[in-house]
């Protein structure tokens, strides 16, 4: 009997955290099924509503659908480890952050932070629609910049695979154990502090 990966990967319900957050996880195997344009519109609209410093909204997203030139250029920008599995995803995304504030040209120290917030919001909306995302730090940023002629005022962030869950057995054998393993998280005392390295009392 096949395992239900969404069940295996879900966070503990007894935590009281919203179901949509507990169900978000990052698969490497994607089904050969396109993502409807209406869902992509919802996903990027969700990203638009993320918080950002002075409402700069520094994020930019390059979006490729399998078979188009944008997809090929994003895939080409990935490190080999990610290319192996990411090519199964029907949609690839590259996040980019504007490094300066539009209103005055001053450096925006929060640009990547805010682009990450938009990416997280995007991922949760995708989960709500029955889709999955997988963020990838394994990007050759110089190649991505060259492939898309990204201006110097923008910093390449991360790549994202987006699509419907595929079969883990379709992956190379070396990836399958990771795909099927339960997720774990650090205890709150390891990162929620009252003083540095002193756990906060919540």
In the chain, the domains with their CATH numbers are 5-199 (3.40.109.10)
Contact 98, 106 (CB under 8 A): no
- Quick check: helix, strand or coil at residue 158? strand
Residue 150 CA, distance from chain mean position: 20
Give me the residues paired with residue 195 across strands. 198
CA distance 18 to 29: 25
Task: Look up residue 105 and give its DSSP letter.
Answer: -
CA distances from 161 to 28, 38, 64 (A): 8, 18, 10
pLDDT, tens only, 51-95: 999 999 999 999 999 999 999 999 999 999 999 999 999 999 999
H or E element that contains 163: strand 154-163
Task: State the pLDDT confidence band at 3, using cuts at 50, 70 and 90.
Answer: confident
Beta bridge partners of 134: 161
Is the pLDDT at 2 greater than 80? The verdict is no
Residues 19-63 pLDDT 10s: 999 999 999 999 999 999 999 999 999 999 999 999 999 999 999
CA distance 53 to 117: 11
Helices (H), 24-181: 37-48, 69-77, 80-86, 111-128, 141-148, 173-180
How high is the pLDDT of residue 1?
54
The pTM (predicted TM-score) of the whole model is 0.95
The pLDDT, as a whole number, for residue 62 is 98
| Stretch (H or E) spanning 22 | helix 19-22
pLDDT one-digit tens code per residue, 110-159: 999 999 999 999 999 999 999 999 999 999 999 999 999 999 999 999 99
Burial track 23-45 (b if 16+ CB lie within 10 A, e otherwise): bbbbbbbbbeeebeeebbebbbe
**Residues 83/146/46/104 CA torsion (nearest 10 deg):** 150
């Amino acid at each position: 009997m096949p395992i239900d990966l969404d069940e295996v990967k879900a966070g503990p319900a007894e935590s009281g955290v919203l179901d949509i957050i507990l169900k978000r996880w990052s698969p490497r195997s994607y089904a050969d099924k396109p993502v409807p344009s209406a869902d992509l519109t919802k996903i990027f609209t969700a990203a638009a509503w993320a918080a950002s410093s002075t409402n700069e909204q520094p994020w930019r997203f390059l979006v490729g659908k399998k078979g188009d030139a944008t997809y090929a250029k994003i895939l080409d920008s990935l490190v080999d480890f990610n290319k192996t599995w990411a090519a199964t995803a029907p949609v690839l995304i590259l996040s980019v952050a504007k490094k300066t504030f539009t209103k005055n040209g001053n450096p925006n120290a929060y640009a990547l932070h805010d682009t990450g917030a938009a990416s997280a919001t995007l991922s949760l909306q995708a989960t709500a629609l029955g889709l999955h995302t997988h963020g990838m730090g394994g990007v050759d940023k110089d190649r991505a910049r060259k492939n898309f002629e990204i201006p110097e005022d923008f910093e390449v962030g991360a790549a994202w695979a987006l699509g419907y869950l595929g079969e883990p057995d379709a992956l190379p054998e070396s990836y399958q154990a990771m795909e099927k393993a339960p997720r774990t998280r650090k205890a709150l005392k390891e990162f929620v502090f009252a003083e540095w390295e002193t756990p906060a009392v919540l």
